[in-house]
Amino acid sequence: MIAISPRPIERSWNTISFASTLYLCPILDLLLVDIPRQWQAEIRLGLQEALVNAAKHGNNLDPRKTVVVRFSAIADEYWWAIADQGKGFACACPCHVDPDEHLPHDEGECGRGLFILHQIFDQVNWDDNSRELKLCKQFNQSSRLPMLR
């Protein structure tokens, strides 16, 4: 089940919540509606990675737990805040360290998703004991070209 909360008049954030599942196509479609077309494939990949992490690793795919996504567009900045009901995690690479140095070497090694997030989004931050991930992407004339098309 997907719940979409109406945006409060005084705020610019919308909210979607859903039971922990890996069936993410309708959620991703909703989150990409306002994204410039040339960036949609790349942002879809990043958001899918973040949502899978929340549902699978945060909530252990427990359908009684929900993932909540707040999202907003402010000028040329697009923001997503993705929260799960898990215990949080200790990020293996501090945010001030170059994520390129933490690319996993083995298939079984964790970290691929974090690497993807750092490559796609301009800001990647965790709050609330690492249970809420905040992502930001800026689309302006000085932005790089999309990696995926």
Q: What does the pLDDT read at residue 100?
A: 52
Distance, CA of 90 to CA of 77 (rounded, Å): 27
Q: What residue spans define the domains of the chain?
A: 14-91+105-138
Per-residue pLDDT at 96: 46
Look at residue 149 in the predicted model and tell me its pLDDT. Answer: 56
* Alpha-carbon gap, residue 61 to 45, rounded angstroms: 20
Calculate helix-pair angle for 40-52, 112-120, nearest 10 degrees.
Answer: 140
Does domain 14-91+105-138 fall under CATH 3.30.2130.10? My reply is no
Closest CA to 48 of 68, 25, 69, 72: 25
Give DSSP secondary structure letters for 117-139: HHHH-SEEEEETTTTEEEEEEE-
pLDDT in tens, the chain (149 residues): 666 666 555 558 899 999 999 999 999 999 999 898 989 999 999 999 999 999 999 999 999 999 999 999 888 899 999 999 998 876 655 444 455 555 554 545 567 888 999 999 999 998 867 789 999 999 876 666 666 55
**Could you tell me if 134 and 125 are in contact, meaning their C-beta atoms sit under 8 angstroms apart?**
yes
144 Cβ contact partners less than 8 Å away, ≥ 6 residues apart: none
Size of the chain, expressed as the number of residues it contains = 149
Query: Which three-class secondary structure state does DSSP give residue 101?
Result: helix
What's the pLDDT score for residue 67?
A: 97
- 142: tokens are 């000085």
Give the pLDDT score at 71: 95
144: left (phi over 0), alpha (psi -120 to 50) or beta: beta
Our CA dihedral for 73, 16, 27, 112, rounded to 10 degrees, sits at 80
